[in-house]
Every structure is written in structure tokens, then in C-alpha cells.
Structure 1
Amino acid sequence: MPRRPAEPLPLAPDEAPKRAHGAGATTQQIVDTITTAIVERRLMPGTKLAEQAVADLFGVSRTLVREALNRLSRDRLVTLEPARGAFVARPSVDEARQVFEARRLLETGMVRELCASARAEDLEALRAHLHAEADAVLRHDVAGRTRLLGHFHVLLAQRLDNAVLAELLADLLSRCSLIALMYQSADAAGHSQDEHVLIVDAIDRRDAEAASRLMAEHLGNVVGNLQRHPRVGDLADVLRPAA
């Protein structure tokens, strides 16, 4: 299934500096580069994104930086604080638990519905997605695996042909995306991918009880893997172009 247009597409680590630096970056390139740094855990919660510092690093005006920060704020990746400036968002673990509980209520019912209605083409799409996930985990592609592991849940809703459910779930995912992007270790990502395989296997067997139980356990495991005390990195070291 095609990726939702609203989802950010992070740049590869070696591509971001080439596009975002040099003759001056566009607003979208600044957004992409900062998003990539967050995805790859090089920009951590609480890091200050001073407008002038970012403008100097990208060779652009503060106006373009302000536009980029506003976009990132709408995606809940950046927090804008009056008189203090912009910071990489620092969502609380309690907020994450509430969001995951809402997802549990939605997604356990969603997989039950899929057990009753999934067609051959639905299962084929899910298997193809699982293959892409496994490949990203194996290659230690942090940005790719994070995007794919999150999109798996939206894909389930899309295979139900329920656009409203898919949109609602995508919004819930965005609320916990920063936590998943920044706190998920390689081991946790591998476990998540294994759990996705088990969920699809249960859907394939039309085993609604197992699919619902596995989804609840999966979301519970993701919450259990959250780290409480991430580090804060240096902005210039993260965003300056490679030598």
C-alpha cells in the first residue's frame, strides 16, 4: 500500500547534508534533516533548536528556519515555548501509556475484524510489508525500520478499507512517534518485527482470539521498552555538514 502523504520521509544519513547544506536549504530540506536526526537518535528530547544557530548551520534566513520549526511543531516533534524558543519535544512516559492504551482498544478490535474479512491480496500486502520490515531491521536502518514498524499498524486499518480508522490511527501514531523513534533499541525493533509476523500469522489462520491477544501483548511490550532518561545531544555536532 502507498505511504500516507502526511508521513515524513526521512533522508538517508549521507543524503541529508548534501541536500540541506551548501547553497542554502529549503524549508522542507530543513524539516527532513531535523526529522532524520530525531529518527536516528542524534537529536534527543529537550535539545534546544535556536533559530540563529540552525539558520547558520543551513545557510538560510531565520524566516525559513521558523517555518520549518512550525511544521515540526505541528507533527509534534518540536515544542515551541514562548520567550524560550524551540526544543525537540519531550513527551512524558505517562502520555505514551495513555496513547498506547487508546491504540490497544482500537487495534485489538481491528485485527478481529481482519480475521473475518482479510482477502488473499490483503495478506499478500501484509507479508510484503513484513519482508520490508525484516530487511530494514537486518540492515540496521533505524529510519526505515521505525517508519515501517509504525506504518504496519496503519496498513492493517487500510486493509479494512476504513479510511476514518486509518486516519485516526495515524494521528495516534504521530502522538507517540517521537517516543518510538527515539527510545526503541535495535533489540526492541527486532522483537516488534517478530511480533508483527505472529499477528499476521494469526490473521491468516482466522484466529481472532490469538490475533487480539498478540496485538495487546505487542503494544504492551512497546510501552515496556521505553527509556525514561534519554541524553541531550549537541546541535552543531548533529546538524553540521560532514567534513
Structure 2
Amino acid sequence: MARTRSAALMLEPAPPGAAPAATASATAGGDAADAGDTTRRIVESITTAIIERRLQPGTRLVEQQIADIFQVSRTLVRQALNQLSRDHLVTLEPARGAFVARPSVEEARQVFEVRKMVEAALVRRLCAVITDAQVAELRRHLHAERDAVRRTDVGGRTRLLADFHVLLARQLGNEVLAQLLADLLSRSSLIALMYQSAHSAEHSQDEHVAIVDALERRDARAAVRLLEGHLGNVERNLRLHPREHDLAAALRG
């Protein structure tokens, strides 16, 4: 849309008193940048709502309603939904619209398999290069996690527990890896909404502390073992096996 408008401005004859072509082109560029910022804001808002469990899997995302909330055109909303679809957070269904994705059991298993491979290599590498200042940064993050858990701040603790893993990637200075993990963690949040049983946030937070302790000792073997154990515990707390509908058991409570 922005490219078409820019091209039209360059091809149409300028009316008397019009701004010079360079100025018009700059204005179009500014409009495109504003549109890009708005699209990102919508994407980030929906993603955060998913991570913080305010949007449930299967929730319908009505274009006009989102446009009204953000005071933007439906075109920009459609662009945001298309991006979320590429990120596997939204499903676009012909003639029905957009819905928060509902990951399958097999997808859930695959996401955790990828996380284990990626994050094990991450902590092994981080052990070799982590600084005392970075350890202190992780300790501050753990303090924020603990406060959110104690306050029973479900949205805050969910976000912070996920951000811990992204922070590890950022400490390597690898933004591509950090973005990959952020995408995987967003999908993990969707999976947790569908399949997670009563899971102890306190336990996850304790496991994060143990991982940082190993990183501080520069003990790569322990850090990898603890990280794999942590992800394994999270996955085991997911009900990934289809429930059997046993009438007798149901009636007996």
C-alpha cells in the first residue's frame, strides 16, 4: 500500500503550488514508517496478551473491533494478523476470520524438542563468556520473578518466567537467537494455555535460580543438565495425552 502511494506521487504531475517531489516522497516514507510502527504495536499487544494468558486459544480476533481499539484502518490490522499468522500465533480461516491458534499435541512436543536443543547449546556457550555484571543482571531478573510469584501476579510471572530464557540469549549478544526464543516461548504460552495442568510457578522460579547458580560457577555441564531438567519438568506438567472418556470414572467423580 505504501509503495503504491509513493509511486503515484512520483508519477502524477504536481499541481500548482505543490511541495517539491523530494518532500512528497519523504512524506510518503514517513507515512510508511508510521504504518509499520502501528502494525508492530498491534502485533506486540496481541502477542503480549497471549503470553500473559489474557487471550485464550481459539479466541476470534475481529478485524473491525481491533481497528476500533487501536484507532487504525482494517488494512493495518490485517497486516498485523498476517504477521501473527506467519509466527504461528494466529490462524487465518477463509470466510471465518482470524483466531488465536490452537496448537496440536504433536506441535507441542515439537516445540519443546526444539527448545531443548536450542537452549542447551545456549547455556553451554554462555557459561564460557558470561560476565559478573551479566550474572548480577540475571539475579535482578530472578528477584522480579520471585516478587511476581509471591504477589500471585499471573500475567507478570508468566511474562517474566518466559523472558528469563530470552535474556540468556541476549546476554550472548545474539538478537537472532533471542527473537527465535521469543517466538518459541510465545508458542509455548499457547501450548500451556491448552495443555498445562496445575503447575507450580514457584518450582519453575526455583529452577531458574539453580540455572543461574550454575552459570555463576561457569559449570557448563550442570547448567545444561539443569536447563534440560527444567524444560522436561514443564513439558511433563502438560497434559499431552488425549483424555479417555470413561463414563464410569466420570460418574464416580
SS of aligned partner of 1:190: helix
Pairwise CA distance, 1:130: 0.8
- Mean CA deviation greater in 86-95 or 34-43: 34-43
Corresponding residue to 2:53 among 41, 57, 60: 41
Higher Rg: 2
- Asked if 2 retains the 8 angstrom alpha-carbon contact of 1:195 and 1:214, the reply is yes
Taking structure 1 as reference, are residues 84 and 199 closer, same or farther at Cα in structure 2, changes over 3 Å only? same
Taking structure 1 as reference, are residues 74 and 219 closer, same or farther at Cα in structure 2, changes over 3 Å only? same
Deviation string, structure 1 residues 48-93 (Cα, Å, up to 9, x no partner) = 3344566678887655653453343344322111222111100112
Structure 1-normalised TM-score? 0.68
In 2, distance between residues paired with 1:115 and 1:84? 48
Gaps of 5+ in 2: 1-37, 242-253
2:107 is the alignment partner of 1:107: no
Paired position in structure 2 for 1:145: 157
2:176 is the alignment partner of 1:169: no
Paired position in structure 1 for 2:214: 202
- Asked if 2 retains the 8 angstrom alpha-carbon contact of 1:136 and 1:144, the reply is yes
Identity of aligned residues (%): 70
In 1, distance between residues paired with 2:240 and 2:68? 32
In 2, distance between residues paired with 1:85 and 1:162? 36
Gaps of 5+ in 1: 1-25, 230-243
Paired position in structure 2 for 1:136: 148
SS of aligned partner of 1:226: coil
In 1, distance between residues paired with 2:197 and 2:179? 27
Deviation string, structure 1 residues 119-164 (Cα, Å, up to 9, x no partner) = 1111101111111111122222222222221121121122223344
Which one has the bigger helix percentage? Answer: 2
Q: Which has the higher contact order (CA 8 A, sep 6+)?
A: 1
SS of aligned partner of 2:200: helix
- Asked if 2 retains the 8 angstrom alpha-carbon contact of 1:41 and 1:181, the reply is yes
2:203 is the alignment partner of 1:188: no
Paired position in structure 2 for 1:11: none
Pairwise CA distance, 1:216: 0.6
Taking structure 1 as reference, are residues 209 and 56 closer, same or farther at Cα in structure 2, changes over 3 Å only? closer
SS of aligned partner of 1:45: coil
- Asked if 2 retains the 8 angstrom alpha-carbon contact of 1:140 and 1:186, the reply is no
Paired position in structure 2 for 1:77: 89
SS of aligned partner of 2:88: coil
In 2, distance between residues paired with 1:55 and 1:170? 25
In 1, distance between residues paired with 2:197 and 2:229? 18
In 1, distance between residues paired with 2:72 and 2:175? 39
